[in-house]
Amino acid sequence: MSYSLAEAEIQKPPTPIPFRIKVATFKDARSEDEKIGEGKGKGLMATRDRFFQNVPEGITSAVVEHVRRNELFLEVSPAAFSSAEFTAERLELLQSEADAVLIGTIAHFYGIVHRSQAIMAGMAGAAGVAGGLIGGLFVAGIESTISKDVEGHAALIDLELLDAKTGESKWKGVAEAHFKRTERGLPEAADAALEALKTAVTKLVDQLRELTHKPTGNGS
């Protein structure tokens, strides 16, 4: 799971925060309906987890790469455990290889392309008047030109950066992006989900960037 980052979207601080960061795989708290693309109404296309394989690991990798490219910290890498498995003992084991650990929870991650009533009416008309192949061509023409409502939602909650030595919370936050808009052509539900994820992770990075203006307390 990945998205592109243009150079203009990367804002590196003058000096990275002198921390080595581990990112624990985010806990997945999404509903089962959301994971399988159900429960959001009829006549639409929605993302399913099989589009992305392992969603928690994919989102965590996207966070690691996004933070790394912005060079906020000396080092950023994935931890060998999930946020759901996080304990004081695991934090202690990290002390030799990291200064802090980022944990979090995935509340939402999906994309939807809603079919408009005009499309549904066109399909019914094509089937009733032309039928068969002609009807299919008519519907395809409508599908490619009619406007469609597109929705993307990504919400990362319970985000927390913890000091590996003391367990002290250095930062807490939430990063969420949810959009609905109208597009022409053939938009993809997966693209909408990834766009929302990129916006949410950008918000996470912007919040972490504020730490560059605060004392780290490690004397570096």
Q: Looking at residue 178, what is its pLDDT?
A: 97
Q: Looking at residue 126, what is its pLDDT?
A: 47
E-assigned strand segments in 26-139: 27-28, 44-46, 73-82, 100-114
Q: Looking at residue 127, what is its pLDDT?
A: 46
Distance between CA atoms of 68 and 71, rounded to whole angstroms? 5
Complete domains list, the chain, with CATH: 15-109+153-176+189-213 (3.40.50.10610)
Q: Looking at residue 214, what is its pLDDT?
A: 65
Q: Looking at residue 92, what is its pLDDT?
A: 85
Q: Looking at residue 40, what is its pLDDT?
A: 57
Please indicate, yes or no, whether the overall pTM of this predicted structure exceeds 0.75: yes
Q: Looking at residue 215, what is its pLDDT?
A: 54
Closest by CA to 167, choosing from 70, 117, 80, 95, is 95
Task: Give the mean pLDDT per block of 10 residues along the chain (220 residues).
Answer: 89 91 97 81 74 93 96 95 89 90 96 69 48 48 68 97 93 97 87 96 95 56
Distance between CA atoms of 43 and 41, rounded to whole angstroms? 7
Q: Looking at residue 55, what is its pLDDT?
A: 96
Q: Looking at residue 147, what is its pLDDT?
A: 78
Distance between CA atoms of 7 and 62, rounded to whole angstroms? 16
Phi-psi region of 142 (alpha: psi -120 to 50; beta: other; left: phi over 0): alpha
Q: Looking at residue 143, what is its pLDDT?
A: 52
Distance between CA atoms of 124 and 144, rounded to whole angstroms? 17
